[in-house]
Structures are given as structure tokens and as C-alpha cells.
Structure 1
Amino acid sequence: MTEQKFIPKPYSNSKQKGSVTCASPSNIALVKYWGKKEHQIPENPSISFTLDNCKTTTTLSYSKKEDINSFSFDVFLDGVLKEDFKPKIETFFKRIEIYLPFLKEYHFKIETSNTFPHSSGIASSASGMSAMALCLMSIEKELTVIQSDSEESQNYFNQKASFLARLGSGSACRSLEGDLIVWGTHNDIDGSSNLFGTKYPYDVHQNFKNYQDTILLVDKGEKQVSSTVGHGLMHGHPYAERRFMQAHENLSKLISIFKSGDLDAFIKIVESEALTLHAMMMTSMPYFILMKPNTLEIINKIWAYRNQTQSKVSFTLDAGANVHVLYPENEKVAVLEFIKRELVDYCQNGHYICDQIGFGAQLIDN
């Protein structure tokens, strides 16, 4: 499959104006994507849990305009005009114009809000860009007279939405569906693609159903180094090629782990992946550290608690200081008590978010 598949035929319908609202969650990678090629193509495959409560809701209002030579849009976050968001949206529109040729025909009002702090280390770009992609695909569907609800048509819709989201933010392609999403071509996973995220196709043990993720907000400020810059530093990184191989190997191991329900093996891979991600940051040139002292305190507390109780609690990290505490549903009460008793003091203002596995983006209104 190539990108050409997503270039549409001339639209058969026309709309003067309209509005669509979509909500899309963030996701947390278990095998990490770090490093990308041109056009948002990942250097290695990744797999993620789709979240449920950490989401972005976007309303996209559109109206026909006379000047079709340029993009026209305004962006609002929580009702406040955000001029500083416009360059990223402009870049996104330029990348996807060939796949959505109606973009210059309309003025867009983009109204967005998050259920979590912006730039908190939770992937707001993933939830935001996936919500935007779903809104845009809903508009394209309105412009296409012949609409089908067949499985083939829905698969195309989901694939293109994920494809478009990827061009806005790589990890956004993993937020359109759930509960486990693979992004990046992998020899052992049928249907995997560099172009879009796909639902994990194999058996998943009951141990991983309704898996919990409590996000400890260690630092809610802007990251010192953006993910885009961090990805770029993988070019010429002395350990990059071995890291890309490791990601392939760990994803292969997870296939049997998901089938068997082996939580101890799951913990080893997920925690190793988190620490490897940050090790790559610390060994790039220039090098940088996104973890904070409290991040390490939390990790050590989790290890100590696990050793004392034989709990199956574990952690993972994104490219930031916050800690995602992962645990099976049957430990929910005990782990939350542990978090409140021993970990909350390490969170900024005592803030944390309780979340769990979710099942992707939703069209709320049209």
C-alpha cells in the first residue's frame, strides 16, 4: 500500500458550511517509537495502550470562502485564541492538502479542549491531531455522495484518519482506535504499516483487559526539549541502529506475552523500554535529561512496593518527567491506596490522573 491510496477522486457533493465535533484520547506506548524518517515515518515499530479519560475534544466549524489560494483558520484552546498553535496547524494542512483538497475552500474555526493539562507530558499532540483528523475525515465523508457503511469502507475511513493524524504528530496515528494499536511495519504482525496505526490482530489474555494507568504529574511545565528535536537527535546517534533492532525484538516478545498473560515478562519489557527511551536521550549529542528527581523517587518506590507485595504494578514513561503507573484491574484498590500513601507527595501539587485502556476516537456531533 502507498500514500496514493488516500488521494480522493473529485468530490460529488458540496457544502457551504457546517460543524463537526470529535473526541480522541491520548495513548501510552509500551514499545517506544523514537526516531523518524521523512514524512513522519517511524524508524522502528511501536505498540500502545489507547487511553480512555485523557482526551481532546475538538469542534471544527467550516464555511466556504472566496479566496482558495491559502489556508484560513483560527485556533482556540479552552475558548482562548492561540496564535502560537497556528504554525503547527499550517504545517499539518500543507502536508495533508493533497489528500484533502477541500482545505483551502473553507475558513475553519478550531475549538479544542483537553481533559488534562496541556504540555503535561501526556501526549496532547496525539489526542489533538487525531481528533482533528477525524473531524476532517467526517467533512470529506459529507463531500462524498456515495457513502457506504461496509466494513471495507469503514476500514478505509479509519486508515485514512490514522494516516492523516500521523502527518500531524506521529503517535497520533495510534489514538483513532483501541485498545492495543501497532504502528510501524513488523514482520511478525500481519497488516502492520508505517503509514497508519492498526489494531493489534492477535489473542490478548484476560490479564490485560481493562488495564489501569494512573498518571503521576511530576512536572506540568513545558518540556525543555521537544519531542520533534529529540527524534531528530537519533540521526547519527551511536546506539540508534541497535535500539531500532531492540524495539523489533521486544514487539516480537510481546506477542507471546499478550497471549499467555505473563505479567512478569510484560513488566520487564515495558520498564526496560521506558528506561531505554530516556537512555537514548541521555546519550544523544547534545544530550539531555527529561526525568526529574521525583521521577526516580517514584520508580524506586514502585520497585520496593512490588518486591514487598508481589504486586504486578509497573511503570512506563513518555518523553517527559511524568510517570504512568500500569497495573491490572484486579489490583486497582490496593495500587491506588499505595499511590495515595507513598507517591502523591512526589507529584506537582499532588496531582495525578486515573485512567485505563480505552477504545479510540468518537464522532460526537455532526
Structure 2
Amino acid sequence: MEEEFLGNINFRTSHQIVSQSCPSNIALIKYWGKSDTQIPANPSISYTLSHCKTNTTLEFLADEKFSVQTFLAGKEEEKFAKKIEEYFRKIQVYLPWILQGKYCIKTENTFPHSSGIASSASGFGAIAKCLMQLDQIFTDQNGEEYTLRKASFLARLGSGSACRSLYPGLVVWGHTKEVRGSSDLYAVAYPPHQIHSVFKRFHDWVLLIYEGEKSVSSSVGHALMKTNPYAERRFQEAHENLHKLTTILQEGNMPGFIKLVEHEALTLHGMMMMGDPAFILMETGTLQVINKVWEFRRNTGLPLFFTLDAGANVHLLFPHHIEDQRIKTFIEQELLTFSQCGRVVKDEISF
């Protein structure tokens, strides 16, 4: 199946500058555990965010010695440049022209670094889109659907979850019988006509509980699933939860949606705690916020709920159509105190 993405060697090189933007995403059903070729151990589904994006400009100078120079928010990052060089070498089979020039990559995020918003997803998504823009210039390959799918395929090889950021709305990565056309190699959009309108617009406010570097990287965490005694059951459960979610999405079952999304978030961190070695990425403030959210929902009946990425920060989700101001007031007056610097990133999902 990967053969459809093999590069066409009849290309024209030149000096080119391309720019692309790509949003981040937040998984509802989590992917945790993968093979060395970035194949997920279970399918996942995510919401693509609206405002938290990576904006990237890529300059390509043809017929020069292959090298990569990277700048993040104007600051040169040599460590990241080496990572991108390795990535380009990995994907050369799919883009035969890629090592035949020099690159200068300038990238900026619209959200704080280490904010619990997946910058690797939006970052590699933006780079993959830039590369496909160049590929369209250099080769005879074209077509919007093909370009988008190959960009998702290439983004996955840089950061697994990045493949989901290429599409708006709800996005599935990983083969599942629940979604036609789903694949381990790239992401696909979840069929919009199978999603009740109540699930198409959400606020996502991210409480920045901890803004430092994680004690254990996601790459290490994924690798530890290979020896986790509960891994196989977790992978099976992800399939089961995706099956449940398809019904929830069609019926507009908000209580069922909230229960499943929060369970998935806690399961992700449960897998971390049951690994060898075990590790904990949640902070005290994370747990305090979770308990506060549960208490608020019991007392008000309002649909405020949470999910977590592989870190301490908390994504607070609530439907856009809720006009009751108690949710926003509660977050600002009761929950911001648990964030490291009183900060929250306000985003939304809309499609």
C-alpha cells in the first residue's frame, strides 16, 4: 500500500520558498504504543484545533550540499535541524529530490511551547505540507486528495499524531472496521454525516498546569508499551471504545461522550503508571482540576469535561452552544489558580 506514495524521479529542481500552516489536535481515543515504523498499536480519533497552529516557511536551494537549518520563533535550533535531517533521509524513498539541496526552515507556533498542545503534530504537519507543495512543483504528481493523503503519510513518519492534523474536525488514524478507508499509514476524516451537530463545535481551554520539559518523552512512553503487561488489553479496549463512540456520535449522546473521553484520558496515564519503569506525568494541580471538574458537573449538570495529553496540562472541553456563563466563570475563578502561571490557552473545535 505504501507503493502509491513512492516518488516520481522526473523532477525539476530550482530555488523555491513555500509556506504552510497546520493546526494541532487533541486525541479523544488515545494512541499509545507503536512499532518502529510509526505504525500505531491501536486506532485513535482526535479533534483538530482551530487556533493553535504552526506556521512554517521552507526555503529550498537546489543543487547545493544537503543540509538543514531551522529557526523556531527566530532562534536557531541546531538540535531540531539534526532531527529534520534524519527525517528527510527517512522519507527520501517517497520524495527522491529531497536530499538534493539546502534547506532553511523558519517556524513559529501560535501557542506557548510545552503547553500540552502537540507542537510536534502541528510542526511535522506543516513541514509535510511544505514538502508536498514542493513535490507538486518538481514532479507530475497532483490532485488534492492524493496530495493531502501523502502529506498525512509523510507527517506520520515524523510524528505519529501529526498525520491527524492534516484534516479538520474529527479525524481517525489506524485501521478500524468502524471507519471505511481508515489506515495505519495515514489519517482520514471521520464521516461528517455520521456526527450529530452537538459534537461539531466545542471550546477547548487548555490549563497550563506545568510548562517545563516532561520527565519522560512520548517516544520513551510509547516504547515502554512493548513490555507493559496490560498493553494488549489496552489496545483491544481502544477498538471497543471506537465502536462505542460511533453510536455516541450518531445519537448525540453527550453524557456517553463525556464518560468515554475522560476514561480514555485516565487510561492513557494509567498505562504510564503500570509500565516498567513506571512514571507519572500528571502534577498535583492536574488531579485537583479533575476533581473540581467532576464536582462542578455533579452540582450544575453542565457539560464541562476534560481530556489529557501525555503531560500534566488539562484540556477543558465544553460545547459551544452552551450559553450558561457558569462554565467560563468557574474556569476563570476556580481553576486558573491551579495553573503554573495563571495561564490558559483558549481554542475551539469547529467544523
Instruction: Normalising by structure 2, report the TM-score.
Output: 0.97
Aligned match of 2:196: 205
Task: Report deviation, 1:9.
Answer: 2.0
Distance 2:289 2:163 in 1: 30
Aligned match of 2:37: 39
Aligned match of 2:215: 224
Q: How many residues align?
A: 349
Aligned match of 1:57: 55
Distance 1:66 1:287 in 2: 47
Provide, for residues 276-334 of structure 1, a one-character-per-residue CA deviation record: whole Å limited to 9, x for no partner.
00000000000000000000010011001100110111100000000000111122643
Distance 2:260 2:105 in 1: 39
Task: Report deviation, 1:358.
Answer: 4.9
Task: Report deviation, 1:170.
Answer: 0.2
Instruction: Confirm or deny: 8 A CA contact 1:17 1:64 kept in the other structure.
Output: yes
Instruction: Confirm or deny: 8 A CA contact 1:30 1:48 kept in the other structure.
Output: yes
The code of the aligned residue for 1:91 comes to: E
Distance 1:146 1:194 in 2: 23
Aligned match of 1:343: 335
Alignment of 1:269 onto 2:260: yes
Instruction: Confirm or deny: 8 A CA contact 1:312 1:327 kept in the other structure.
Output: yes
Q: Which of 303, 307, 310 does residue 298 from structure 2 map onto?
A: 307
Distance 1:77 1:345 in 2: 30
Can you give the 5+ residue segments of structure 1 that lack an aligned partner in the other structure? 148-152, 360-366
Alignment of 1:165 onto 2:132: no
Distance 1:10 1:98 in 2: 10
Alignment of 1:81 onto 2:81: no
Instruction: Confirm or deny: 8 A CA contact 2:201 2:321 kept in the other structure.
Output: no
Alignment of 1:241 onto 2:236: no
Distance 1:3 1:50 in 2: 25
The 1:146–1:46 alpha-carbon spacing in structure 2 relative to 1, beyond 3 Å, is: closer
Task: Report deviation, 1:117.
Answer: 1.7
TM alignment of 1:97-116, pairs within 5 A: 97-116=92-111
Distance 2:17 2:6 in 1: 23
Task: Report deviation, 1:210.
Answer: 1.4
Distance 2:236 2:3 in 1: 29
The 1:105–1:92 alpha-carbon spacing in structure 2 relative to 1, beyond 3 Å, is: same
Displacement over 4 Å in runs of 4+: none
Task: Report deviation, 1:154.
Answer: 1.4
Provide, for residues 249-291 of structure 1, a one-character-per-residue CA deviation record: whole Å limited to 9, x for no partner.
0001110111111000001100000000000000000000000
The code of the aligned residue for 2:161 comes to: S
Q: Which of 241, 246, 253 does residue 250 from structure 1 map onto?
A: 241
SS at match of 2:103: strand
Aligned match of 2:144: 154
% identical equivalent positions? 51
Distance 2:92 2:326 in 1: 50
Task: Report deviation, 1:123.
Answer: 0.5
Aligned match of 2:320: 329
Task: Report deviation, 1:65.
Answer: 2.7
Instruction: Confirm or deny: 8 A CA contact 2:8 2:140 kept in the other structure.
Output: no
The 1:98–1:358 alpha-carbon spacing in structure 2 relative to 1, beyond 3 Å, is: farther
Q: CA RMSD in A?
A: 1.2
Task: Report deviation, 1:104.
Answer: 1.2
The code of the aligned residue for 1:354 comes to: K
Distance 1:314 1:66 in 2: 52
Distance 1:20 1:335 in 2: 42
Task: Report deviation, 1:240.
Answer: 0.2
Instruction: Normalising by structure 1, report the TM-score.
Output: 0.93
Alignment of 1:296 onto 2:287: yes
TM alignment of 1:102-141, pairs within 5 A: 102-141=97-136
The code of the aligned residue for 1:357 comes to: I
Task: Report deviation, 1:222.
Answer: 0.6
Aligned match of 1:9: 8
Aligned match of 2:271: 280
Distance 2:350 2:70 in 1: 27
Distance 2:343 2:179 in 1: 38
SS at match of 1:104: coil
Alignment of 1:26 onto 2:16: no
Using the TM superposition, name which of 58-67 and 316-325 deviates more: 58-67
Instruction: Confirm or deny: 8 A CA contact 1:120 1:222 kept in the other structure.
Output: no
SS at match of 1:42: coil
Instruction: Confirm or deny: 8 A CA contact 1:62 1:109 kept in the other structure.
Output: yes
Task: Report deviation, 1:91.
Answer: 2.2
Instruction: Confirm or deny: 8 A CA contact 2:67 2:101 kept in the other structure.
Output: yes
Task: Report deviation, 1:122.
Answer: 1.2
Instruction: Confirm or deny: 8 A CA contact 1:25 1:50 kept in the other structure.
Output: yes
